[in-house]
Amino acid sequence: MLPDGLTMPATSRSPFFAYLFACLLGVFALCGYWYGLGQPVVLPEVVSATHKLQCASYTPFDKDQSPFDQPFKLRPERMDADLALLATRFECIRTYSVTGLEALPALARKHGLKLMIGAWVSSDPVATAKEVEQLIVEANANPDVVSAVIVGNEALLRKEVTSTQLVKLINQVKSQVKQPVTYADVWEFWQKHPEIAPAVDFVTIHLLPYWGDYPWDVNVSLSQLAAVHDSFKGMFAPKDIFIGETGWPSEGRQRRSAVPSRVNEATFIRGFVAMAEQQGWHYNLIEAFDQPWKRVSEGAVGGYWGLFDADRQDKGVLAGPVSNVPLWPQWLAVGGLILFATLLLGGRVRTTRAALVLPLLGAVAACSIGTFGQLTHATSRSADEWIWAGALIALNLLVLAHGALALSARIGWRARAFAALERRAGWLLTAAGFAGAVMMLGLVFEPRYRSFPSAALLLPALVYLLRPVNAPRREIALLTLIIGAGIAPQLYHEGLLNQQAWGWALVSGLMVAALWRSLRVRKG
């Protein structure tokens, strides 16, 4: 028994069986797609109730907070709960500033954690002096908890101080505390400024392969990391080398063959910990919790380096099975609704070809809109990005309605709805082309922090490639030129190993073909 509006003509059995076959194929494809994305992966574990890891970076912000908030206020109850959780997995935590963290040493003592506390060194000499002064006070007041102090974090990378100024600050702190003193920066900046090394008690380097100039996949990145560590060990001997930051993002855009995902984050972290403990390295993982505020300055990927998410839920990075899309059943349900709505909207189809195409159109729409929705949920950073994403989803739903009604028998209200959408189809295509052109320009000229929006344009490209419509010719010609001209440059910039870039190039090519075909449609 089919739902009302989905019945087939009794005089034609062929469309009915074609329709039934296509429906089953669409359902299987939809289920297989989301199950394949969300299937848990089992990896070797590196942490247990009897084995804790060394150290993790900790920033005590809730998901609705950032260091740029005015007034700046941290919540002691949040820090207490966070340290209670981290104490089950780690022996120490690393901080980057002392401002607002006056309660942290007592809480660390309460939960049996050691602290590596840092002073935030910036181009503001007054703020820097205040940080350094407070750092000295905290270190001297809590010698049983503070195991080391870090004067500055990537200040040379940001070009906020000179190496001479930095050495002066390090020596100032060393003369007033008993703990070992260090400075932390990306490993390349230690190579550029070896004059810092004599001033510190140990060298703290950041090894973040994803952000490298030539990023590779997880396994190659682990090998490269080991090679860099060994080279630094010889370069600065006999000083100890401390890996102050290393990790992998769980969401965001691919860079060359470096793919952010929960499975890849778990693979990297677990592989690194096993290697580090086998080699006797000292390390700190970045970071304890996802920090949504970082997405504003670092793109979507910046907010997803945590071992736990922003709600303090375990992401499965350290132990247990891990899934790239743990909420896949919910997205499957959303896709099921989109598929059913497509079939209901299409209703009685006219031909065997339409009977085959309608369910498959619904399945493609369910996968593409759901994928873009999941991407939007993970990566949108501001109100304007949410509005942009909402507009693209609305555009996809209108295009889906137009495509489904074009396949229907178009009787009654379906005929009227189709006529209304048909009159505006040219503008729907133009809107899709405009969105494609805007996103292509962003990925060509400012790609570092932008995700690939392939799923947002797949459905309009396919629908209007297969069914060209009349559209404003000058606008369409310009959009075709912009999108088409950007395909090769963005592929060149991303490298031929970037599958996400290839996916965007393919969808862009389909959009170019759809726009080009519309230029051949004459009005009327």
Chain center to CA of 70: 27
- The verdict on 266 and 379 lying in the same domain is no
- The verdict on 61 and 27 lying in the same domain is no
- The verdict on 423 and 469 lying in the same domain is yes
Q: CB–CB of 409/435 below 8 Å?
A: no
- The verdict on 335 and 285 lying in the same domain is no
Assess whether pLDDT exceeds 80 at residue 340: yes
* Domain boundary, last residue among 303, 338, 370: 303
Residue 43 lies in a domain: no
Measured between alpha carbons, how far is residue 216 from residues 250, 260, 264, 447 in Å? 15, 11, 12, 18
- The verdict on 83 and 184 lying in the same domain is yes
Task: Indicate the number of domains in the chain.
Answer: 2
Residue 409 lies in a domain: yes
Cis peptide leading into residue 125 (ω within 30°): no
Mean pLDDT of the region 208-215: 94
Q: 393-411, pLDDT tens digit by residue? A: 999 999 999 999 999 988 8
pTM value is: 0.92
Q: What are phi and psi of 313, to 5 degrees?
A: -90, 140
CA gap 488, 505 in Å, rounded: 8
Q: Which of 382, 384, 360, 386 is nearest to 373 (CA)?
A: 386
Assess whether pLDDT exceeds 70 at residue 11: no
Neighbours of 195 (CB within 10 A): 11
- The verdict on 350 and 457 lying in the same domain is yes
Q: Provide the residue range defining the domain that includes 99.
A: 53-303
- The verdict on 250 and 376 lying in the same domain is no
Pairing of strands 181-186, 146-153: parallel
Residue 227 lies in a domain: yes
- The verdict on 392 and 331 lying in the same domain is yes
* Domain boundary, last residue among 303, 338, 359: 303
Residue 44 lies in a domain: no
What is the average pLDDT value for the chain, to the nearest integer? 92
Q: 421-446, pLDDT tens digit by residue? A: 999 999 999 999 999 999 999 999 99
* Domain boundary, last residue among 288, 303, 318: 303
- The verdict on 57 and 18 lying in the same domain is no
Mean pLDDT of the region 50-61: 93
Residue 93: which H helix or E strand, with range?
A: strand 90-94
- The verdict on 254 and 193 lying in the same domain is yes
Residue 384 lies in a domain: yes
CA gap 392, 434 in Å, rounded: 11
Tell me the pLDDT band of 300, cut-offs 50, 70 and 90: confident
Q: What is the CATH number of the domain that holds 232?
A: 3.20.20.80
Residue 207 lies in a domain: yes
Assess whether pLDDT exceeds 80 at residue 220: yes
**What are the CB-based long-range contacts (under 8 Å, 24+) for 491-500?**
493/444, 493/447, 494/254, 494/255, 494/256, 494/447, 495/256, 495/257, 497/256, 497/257, 498/254, 498/255, 498/256, 498/257, 499/254, 499/259, 500/253, 500/254, 500/259, 500/452, 500/454
Residue 47 lies in a domain: no
- The verdict on 388 and 272 lying in the same domain is no
Mean pLDDT of the region 122-148: 97
Residue 23 lies in a domain: yes
Q: CB–CB of 308/314 below 8 Å?
A: yes
- The verdict on 293 and 201 lying in the same domain is yes
Ramachandran area for residue 199 (φ above 0: left; ψ -120 to 50: alpha; else beta):
alpha
